[in-house]
Amino acid sequence: MKKINSVFAKDGLLADVIPGFLPRDAQTQMANAVNEAIAKKQQLVVEAGTGTGKTFAYLVPALMNEGKTIISTGTKNLQEQLFHRDLPIVKKALGSYKQTALLKGRSNYLCKHRLSYHSGSNTLLDAETLHEFSQVRRWASTTKSGDIGELKSIPENAKVLPFVTSNVDNCLGKECPDYDECYLVKARGEALEADVIVVNHHLFFADLALKDTGFGELIPDADTIIFDEAHQIGDIASEYFGQQFSTRLLHDSARDIYGLFRTTLKDIEQADKAAKKLASIATDLRSYFPEKSQKGKLKEMLWDDNVVQALDRLSDTLKTLVNILKVHIGRDKELDNIYERLVQAKTNLKDVTDISTQGVSLWYETTPKQVVLHLTPLSIADKFNTIVTQPKRTWVFTSATLMVDNGFAHFTEHMGLGQAQTLALDSPFDYYNQAMLCVPHYLPEPSNFAMKDTLIRISMELIAAAKGRCFLLFTSHAMLREVAAALAERIDNELLVQGTTTKQALLDSYIENKESVLLATGAFWEGVDVRGDDLLCVLIDKLPFASPDDPLLQAKVEDAQKRGKNSFMHVQIPQAVITLKQGAGRLIRDETDKGVLVICDSRLVTKDYGKIFLASLPPMRRTRDMRKATQFLTSLVEPIA
C-alpha cells in the first residue's frame, strides 16, 4: 500500500511526469483496491465516478505487479487512447520496462492473401470499390503493421474492406500461403510475448466463446484481466455466448465459389449452380422479412408459411451444397474453408430456428440486404461465473456507471460475480456548484403528440441562452429527425445531426464551430469527451427505456416474470438508469466544467421509480424552473463573449 500511495502522492512518481498532477483520494483508494485484488487473486467491481482517474488507478498496480495482464476496453478508440497515451505515461513514471501490445480484431488487419486473391478478379468489383482497392494496394506496399486504421484515405465502412481483410469464416489459418507474413499473426505473436495486452470487449468475448483462434492462447496465461467500461460487457457477452445465422454468409460463399470456378477449379460447375441457388433462396428469405431495418421475434415470423418454406428450401440446398463440396475436400484450401463455414452455417441454422430450446431468445435482425437470425441466452451468469473462477486469477470490472439504486446487484447478478469485492467511489467534481439539473415544469407525457413541440421550444431556449454549445440527446431516431428539421427552420446555429457524416467528423465540426449544436442518439450517449466551454448544456428528451418491441428485452421480461420477479424493476429500470447516467455524464468532464443538464421527462418527479433515477445522477443543484436554467447558462456565456 505504501508503494501505491507514493506513486499517487503530491510529490510522487506520477507528479514527476504529469505537469500539474494533483492527488485524488478516490484514485489512490481504487489503485490500492486493484493492487489488493491482484495480490489475492480476487474479483473486484469498482464504480469510479467521472474524474476519478480510473485508468491510472488500474494501470499502476498492473505494471507494478508480476504476471501478464489483459486490459479490455469498450471501443477501438479507447483502446488506442489507452495504448498510445496512458500506458506510456505510467510506464515512464514507474520506470517500467514491461512489454506492451495492442491487439485488434482480425478484420482490422490487411489480409495479404485476400488482397492478392482479389487482385486477379477485378471484374467482380464496381468502380467505387475498384478505386478503394487501388488505394489499399498502394498503402499495402508501405505498411509495417497492416493495421487498416492507418489508411485514412478510405472511409471506415469502405466497400473494399471485406475483400482485403479476413474474418473467422474465410481465414485459412496455418494453411494460408501467406501465413508467415500475416499481419494478424505478427500482432498476436507480439501479444503472446507482452506483459500487458490491450484489447476491446468484442475481441475478448469473440475469442473466449471460441469463435476465433489464436487469442485463446493468451487468456490461459493471463494473471490479471481488467475490464474498463465494464457496463457494456453483459450485452456483448450474451451476443457471443449465443449463435447466429446470416444470409450474408451464404451470398459471400456463393461469390467465393464462383471466383474459384472461374479461375482455378473449372470443374466445380455443380457446386457453383448449387451456391447460386442457395444465394437466390437467401434473397427470397430476406424479402419475406420487414423491409425496414429492425429487430423482431423470430417465432412470430415462423407463423408465415413463406418464411417456413424458404427456411426449409435453404436447409435442403445448404445440405446439398455441403455434400457436393465434400467430394472436393483437399483440392484447394479456399474451397476447404468454404466447406467448413457452410457446415457450421448448417448447424447454426438448425439451432437458431429450434423454438423448443429453453432459456434463450430467438430473434431476427434485418438490414437492407440481409437478415440475421440470433439465438441469445437469457442468462450468462453461470457460464461467466465458471470462466472467472476457473482457474483462479484476478478479475477487475470498472466503469463510471455500474450502480443502480445505490447497489451493484444488477451487475454482479447478471455477470455471476457473487464472490466479487465491490467499491463505490464518488466523483471528485463539485457538482453542486458546477452544474444544474432541470426537469422543466408542465411537460406533456412522453407519448403525447405535444411532446415534440415542447422539445423544440425548450431546445430553442437553451440554445439561445448557451449561444449554441449544446448536445441534444434523443432516445429515438424519429424524434431526432423531427426536432432537427424544425430547428433548422427556426434558428441560425449550425446543426450537426448524427447520420450525416462520421461520429468523429461531427465532433470535430462541433469543436471548431463554437455556436454549433449537436443532435444525436445512442452513439453519443457515451464515449464522448468534450471539455470546457465547448459544451455547456446537455438535453435528454426522455428516460432511455429500451424499446418495448426489442425481442431480447421481451424475452428477458417474460423470463423474469416466470421467476416471480417484477420485470420492470428487475430488467427495464436498471438498463435505463445505466444509460441515463452515461448520457448525463457527457456534461461535466473536469474540475472547471460548468453547465446545465435538462431531462424532459416528468416521470422523474411524478413516478415513484423516478427516485431511483434521480438518486443515480450526480448531486447537481436541481430546479424545475427553466428560467433558472437559462439564467445559469447566460451567466456562463457572458464572461466569455
Peptide bond just before 391 cis, omega within 30 deg: yes
Contacts of 628 (CB under 8 A, 6+ apart): 436, 438
Alpha carbon 427 to its chain's center? 24
Backbone region of residue 51 per phi and psi (left: phi > 0; alpha: psi in -120 to 50; beta: other values):
left
Q: Residues 15-40: what's their mean pLDDT? A: 94
Strand pairing class (243-246; 371-377): antiparallel
Domain 2-98+195-239+380-425 has CATH 3.40.50.300: yes
State the helix-helix crossing angle for 247-262 and 269-287, rounded to 10 degrees: 150
Whether residue 499 is predicted with pLDDT greater than 70 in this model: the reply is yes
Lowest mean pLDDT segment, chosen from 88-97, 395-404, 506-515, 632-641:
632-641
Cβ neighbors of 227 (< 8 A, separation 6 or more) are 72, 201, 233, 395, 396, 397, 398
Mean predicted confidence (pLDDT) in 287-315: 94
Query: What gap in Å lies between CA 331 and CA 273, rounded to an integer?
Result: 19
pLDDT, residue 640, reads 46
130, three cell numbers:
475498384
Q: For residue 421, what pLDDT is reported?
A: 97
Distance (Å, rounded) from C-alpha 149 to C-alpha 328? 38
Residue 169 pLDDT: 75
Question: Per the structure block, which three cell numbers stand in for 269?
Answer: 460447375
Q: Which amino acid is at 576?
A: A
Judge if 2-98+195-239+380-425 and 431-637 fold alike in CATH terms. yes
Report pLDDT for 124.
58
Instruction: Calculate the average pLDDT of the chain.
Output: 91
C-alpha cell at 231: 457496463
Separation of alpha carbons 495 and 234, rounded Å: 34
> 3-state DSSP call for residue 626?
helix
More confident residue, 559 or 491: 491
For residues 395 and 38, give the distance between their C-alpha atoms in angstroms, rounded to a whole number.
8
Q: What is the sign, positive or negative, of the torsion defined by CA atoms of 450, 455, 456, 457?
A: positive
pLDDT interval class at 616 (50, 70, 90): very high
What's the confidence (pLDDT) of residue 127? 81
pLDDT confidence of residue 513: 93
Domain positions in the chain: 2-98+195-239+380-425, 106-172, 249-257+265-377, 431-637
pLDDT at site 210: 58
Percent of the chain with pLDDT over 70: 97
CA nearest to 436, candidates 587, 578, 577:
587
Q: Which of 33-42, 206-215, 338-347, 585-594 has the lowest mean pLDDT?
A: 206-215
Tens-digit pLDDT profile for residues 134-171: 899 999 999 999 998 888 788 777 888 888 998 877 88
Instruction: Tell me how far apart the alpha carbons of residues 153 and 27 are, in angstroms, rounded to a whole number.
Output: 40
The predicted pLDDT at position 212 comes to: 45
Supply the pLDDT for residue 593. 95
**Which long-range CB contacts under 8 A does 121-125 form with residues at least 24 apart?**
121/259, 121/262, 121/263, 124/255, 124/259, 125/160, 125/163
Q: What share of the chain is helix, strand, coil (3-state, %, to 5)?
A: 55, 15, 35
Model confidence at 192: pLDDT above 90: no
Amino acid identity for residue 487 in this structure = L
Q: What does the pLDDT read at residue 8?
A: 95
The pLDDT of residue 558:
86
Residue 257 confidence (pLDDT) above 50 = yes
Beta-sheet strands, E only, within 158-305: 196-200, 224-227, 243-246, 295-297
Within 10 A of 39 (CB to CB), how many other CB atoms are there? Answer: 11
Residue 210, phi then psi, degrees to nearest 5 = 60, 30
The residues, ordered by sequence, that sit 6+ positions from 174 with a Cβ below 8 Å of its Cβ are none
pLDDT in tens, 84-119: 999 999 999 999 999 999 998 888 999 998 888 777
Overall average pLDDT of the 161-190 stretch: 86
Phi, psi of 131 (to 5 degrees): -65, -45
In this structure, of 188-192, 243-247, 394-398, 452-456, the range with the lowest mean pLDDT score is 188-192
Burial annotation 400-429 (CB, 10 A radius, 16+ → b, else e): bbbbbbeebebbbebbbbeebebbebbbbb
Sign, CA dihedral 40-41-47-50, equals positive
Q: What per-residue confidence (pLDDT) applies to 158?
A: 84
- Smallest Cα–Cα separation from 397: which of 239, 556, 204? 204
- Where is average pLDDT lowest: 39-48, 120-129, 174-183? 120-129
641 pLDDT more than 80: no
3-state secondary structure 79-140: HHHHHHHHHHHHHHHHCCCCCEEECCCHHHECCHHHHHHHHCCHHHCCHHHHHHHHHHHHHH
Q: Measured between alpha carbons, how far is 232 from 60 in angstroms, rounded to an integer?
A: 23
Of residues 326 and 149, more confidently modeled: 326
Percentage of residues of the chain with pLDDT beyond 90 = 70
> Rounded to an integer, what distance in angstroms lies between the CA atom of residue 341 and that of residue 353?
18
As a whole number, mean pLDDT of residues 69-83 equals 91
pLDDT above 50: residue 211 = no
Architecture of domain 431-637: 3-Layer(aba) Sandwich (3.40)
pLDDT above 70 (res 129): yes
* pLDDT category of residue 213 using cuts at 50, 70 and 90: very low
Query: Does the pLDDT of residue 217 top 80, yes or no?
Result: no
Indicate the pLDDT class of residue 121, thresholds 50, 70 and 90.
low
Q: φ and ψ at 78, to 5 degrees?
A: -65, -35
pLDDT tens-digit readout, 343-398:
999 999 999 999 999 889 999 999 998 999 999 999 999 999 999 998 899 999 99
**What is the rounded radius of gyration, in angstroms, for the C-alpha atoms of the chain?**
26
Hey, what's the cell of 232? 457494456
